[in-house]
Amino acid sequence: MAGCVNSISPPVTLYPPRVSPSPAARSSFLFSGDSVHSLYRLRRVSRSPSIVSPKFQKQIVTAEKTEPLKIMISGAPASGKGTQCELITHKYGLVHISAGDLLRAEIASGSENGRRAKEYMEKGQLVPDEIVVMMVKDRLSQTDSKQNGWLLDGYPRSSSQATALKGFGFQPDLFILLEVPEDILIERVVGRRLDPVTGKIYHLKYSPPETEEIAARLTQRFDDTEEKAKLRLKTHNQNVSDVLSMYDDITIKACDFHLHSFHFSFAVSSLTIYVKQNEETSVIIIIQIKGTRSKEEVFAHIDTALSELLQQKNSAPSSLLS
Ligand SMILES: Nc1ncnc2c1ncn2[C@@H]1O[C@H](COP(=O)(O)OP(=O)(O)O)[C@@H](O)[C@H]1O
C-alpha cells in the first residue's frame, strides 16, 4: 500500500485537473448550501475532475436502481447513537442492526459465544472478530436488511472488522460519527437506565421516569458503571481513528487498481463531511456531528445528509450523471 501511495503524486490522484462535474452531481454533495464553507467546497468541486468516470457511471446507475440505503453509525458510549438510530429508522424504514444488541442477545441465549463475549464486554474491550463478524454478516444478509436497507450501529470498531465486512460485499453509503466531550459521556452513561417493559431509555437526572412504578422496574446495563464506561471510552478512542483510516486504505487501494479516486472535506459548524470515491467502492460519506447539540439538531444534520443521499440514489440516471 505504501509503495502505491508513493508511486502516485497525491494531487494527481486526488484532484486531476480541469474537468467539471455535472451540475446535478455537484449539487448532490451540498449538504448546507448557504454556508461560506459550502461555497468554498463548490469551487473546489468545480475545479475537480468529473466525479465519476464513464465506466463507473454505469456501476452507480445500476446500484441506484436496486440498492436501498446502507448506513453505519459510530460514537462513544452514550453519544446519542440509540436516539439517532431510532429517529433514522423511524423516518427511513431501515433495519437497525446494533452489534451490542446482537451480543447481548447472544449472552442471553446462554451460548458459548455469548459467555466468551461477556468476558470482553465486562472489561470494556472489543469482543474478538471471530464472534462479532459472522454475527453481523448473518444479520445483514437477512431479507429485511437486503430489501429495506440497514443502519449498522457499533460496527465496524476496527479496520479488521471493516475489511471483513467489505470482503462479504457490504459497503456503506454513509458513515456517521457522533462526537461528544468525555465528561458529558460519563455522566450520561452512569445515569442511564432501561425500562425492560417498554424498552425506553431514561436518564435519572436528564429524563427521569414518569412514574414511581416505572422507576421501580428500571434496570442498568452491566457495563454502565463509571469504571467500565471509562474503559469503553478508552477502547472507543483507540479504535475510532483506526476505523476512519479504513477509508484512507480504500483510497490507497484505488491507485493500486489505477482507478480514479476523489476526496475532499469541509466543515460546517458542527458538521464535517468527508467524501471519498473510487471505482471500487462507490461514494462513502463520513459525517462527524457534535452530539452535544439537541437530539433534534443532530438529527436535522443527519436527515439532510440522508435525504440528499436518497435523492441521489433515486435520481434518474440522466439527471444525475448527464
Ligand atoms: N463491533 C464490535 N466489536 C467488538 N465488540 C463489540 C462490538 N460492538 C459492541 N461490542 C462489545 O459490546 C459492548 C457494548 O456495545 P454497545 O452496546 O454498542 O455499547 P457502547 O457503544 O456504549 O459501548 C462494547 O463495549 C464491546 O465490548
Domain ranges of the chain: 2-317
d(CA 56, CA 279) in angstroms, rounded, equals 6
Q: Which atom of ligand 1 is nearest to the CA of 157?
A: 1
Question: Helix axis angle, 295-314 relative to 54-66, nearest 10°?
Answer: 110
Q: pLDDT tens, 108-155?
A: 999 999 999 999 999 989 999 999 999 999 999 999 999 999 999 999
Segment 19-46 mean pLDDT: 29
Answer yes or no: 192 catalytic: yes
Among residues 41, 70, 81, 276, the one annotated as catalytic is 81
Q: Which residue has the higher pLDDT, 258 or 191?
A: 191
Residue carrying C-alpha cell 493500486: 256
Total residues belonging to the chain: 322
The CA distances from residue 160 to 45, 91, 120, 239, 270, in Å, are 32, 31, 17, 11, 29
d(CA 156, ligand 1 centre) in Å = 10
Catalytic, out of 41, 232, 276, 313 = 232
Write down the pLDDT at residue 103. 97
C-alpha cell at position 170:
457490504
Ligand 1, residue 155: give the atom nearest the CA. Answer: 1
Task: Check residue 93 and give left, alpha or beta (phi > 0: left; psi -120 to 50: alpha).
Answer: left
Q: Model confidence over 264-299: pLDDT tens digits?
A: 333 333 445 554 444 444 455 666 676 677 888 888
Bridge partners (DSSP) listed for residue 282: 278
Looking only at the bridges linking them, the beta strands covering 150-153 and 95-98 are parallel
Cell (9 digits) for 194: 432501561
- Number of the ligand 1 atom closest to the C-alpha atom of 121: 27
| Pick from 189-203, 251-265, 275-289: least confident | 251-265
Total Cβ atoms within 10 A of residue 90: 11
pLDDT of residue 298: 85
Whether domain 2-317 has CATH 3.40.50.300: yes
Q: How far apart are CA 98 and CA 136, in angstroms?
A: 9
Rounded to the nearest angstrom, the distance between the alpha carbon of 276 and the centre of ligand 1 is: 27
**pTM for the predicted model, two decimal places:** 0.69
170 in Cβ contact with 184 (< 8 Å): no
* Burial class for 251, CB neighbours closer than 10 Å (0-12, 13-18, 19+): buried
